[in-house]
């Protein structure tokens, strides 16, 4: 967790977890019966997977939860040796207290190598009586089928706007800062349902001022305003390549944007341009080509200028 606020406002009980009502209800039922299968939490970042895993441990074990709960981040420790040593050593011992099993939580387990996943499969089978495995990942397609079949799968979704709005208001009240409705909407849209990203944004903005405006949100999070991106695209589509190029460079310098940041914002704003749908699809295709080249290491200024040049050639 990179943000102090993220830890401070992290839910500690099932009742405090927002936005994942059905999943929490199902997991809570399993915990109350103390009959937990192996679990797999899959979904985008910052939506409550790790939080729910910690809440499960605290609800099951109470004050002894740290003794019965092993948390490993598979993106740091992703080799087969981790499964053979740390995981097995913890799994073969009995739990402390009246719960008949321990919990091993493997965060970001989609980063495990295939060899490590194969070893984990056997460990899950051999130590079922003493240990339950709780796996968390962003991409379930990277988990091998034998592990998937051994787990009860819960698929998380990004938090809804009403849940994020309530969270922003709660944080603002607790931390004693004011935030305008426009700034709150901007922060929620930029977070894309990621609570961790949202709290980081608010913390950075609150460090600058206690009265957070829309402009502060965009500046501290290194995003250009949608209206500015739209104006840039409109200039290029009107055939004013030099004007569009100048504005692009100014935006990248002012907000500290990278090439991939810019192309992602381009894609969002293309859909709102007053042009034919067929042309929008063509522009999205061009943006996809530029994004691929940027990922492969091409010069971002040349690629973005080439994109604006293609837009200028689209002038009717």
Local structure of 211: helix, strand or coil: strand
40: nearest Cα among 124, 106, 97, 114: 106
- For 40, how many CA atoms within 13 A lie in the half-sphere containing its CB? 22
In the predicted structure, residue 238 carries a pLDDT above the cut 50:
yes
- CATH topology (fold) of 161-220: Helicase, Ruva Protein; domain 3 (1.10.8)
Residues β-bridged to residue 179: 212
Q: What integer is the mean pLDDT of 214-219?
A: 89
Confidence class of residue 64 from pLDDT cuts 50, 70 and 90? confident
Residue 257 clears pLDDT 70, i.e. is over it: yes
In tens, the pLDDT along 88-118 reads 777 777 777 777 888 989 888 888 888 888 8
Q: Please report, for the chain, the start and end positions of each structural domain, with discontinuous segments joined by +.
A: 20-155, 161-220, 226-313
User: Rounded mean pLDDT of 274-302?
Assistant: 91
Calculate ∠ Cα 106-110-115, nearest 5°.
90
Same fold yes or no, 20-155 and 161-220: no
The pLDDT value given to residue 78: 57
CATH of 20-155, one of 3.40.50.1000, 1.10.10.10, 3.40.50.300, 3.40.250.10: 3.40.50.300
Mean pLDDT of 111-139: 86
Residue 79 pLDDT level (bands cut at 50, 70, 90): low
| Domain 226-313, second-level architecture | Up-down Bundle (1.20)
Q: Which pLDDT does position 1 carry in this prediction?
A: 44
């Amino acid at each position: 967790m990179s943000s102090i606020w993220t830890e401070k406002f992290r839910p500690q009980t099932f009742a405090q977890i927002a936005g994942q009502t059905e999943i929490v209800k199902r997991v809570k039922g399993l915990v109350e019966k103390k009959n937990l299968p192996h679990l797999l939490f899959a979904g985008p970042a910052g939506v409550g997977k790790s939080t729910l895993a910690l809440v499960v441990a605290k609800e099951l074990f109470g004050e002894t939860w740290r003794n019965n709960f092993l948390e490993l981040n598979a993106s740091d420790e992703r080799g087969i040796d981790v499964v053979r040593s740390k995981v097995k050593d913890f799994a073969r011992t009995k739990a402390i207290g009246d719960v008949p099993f321990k919990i091993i939580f493997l965060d970001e387990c989609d980063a495990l190598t295939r060899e490590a996943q194969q070893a984990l499969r056997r460990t899950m089978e051999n130590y079922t009586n003493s240990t339950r495995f709780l796996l968390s990942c962003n991409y379930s397609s990277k988990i091998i089928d034998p592990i998937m079949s051994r787990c009860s799968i819960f698929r998380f979704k990004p938090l809804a706007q009403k849940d994020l709005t309530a969270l922003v208001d709660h944080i603002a009240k607790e931390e004693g800062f004011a935030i305008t409705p426009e700034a709150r909407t901007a922060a929620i849209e930029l977070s894309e349902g990621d609570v961790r990203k949202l709290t980081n944004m608010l913390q950075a903005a609150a460090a600058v001022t206690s009265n957070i405006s829309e402009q502060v949100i965009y500046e501290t999070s290194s995003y250009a305003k949608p209206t500015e991106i739209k104006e840039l695209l409109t200039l290029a589509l009107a055939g004013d390549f030099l004007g569009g190029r100048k504005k692009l460079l100014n935006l990248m310098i002012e907000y500290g944007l990278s090439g991939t940041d810019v192309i992602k914002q381009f894609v969002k704003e293309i859909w709102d341009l007053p042009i034919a749908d067929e042309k929008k699809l063509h522009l999205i295709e061009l943006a996809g080509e530029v994004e691929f080249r940027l990922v492969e290491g091409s010069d971002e200024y040349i690629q973005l200028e080439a994109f604006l040049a293609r837009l200028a050639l689209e002038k009717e």
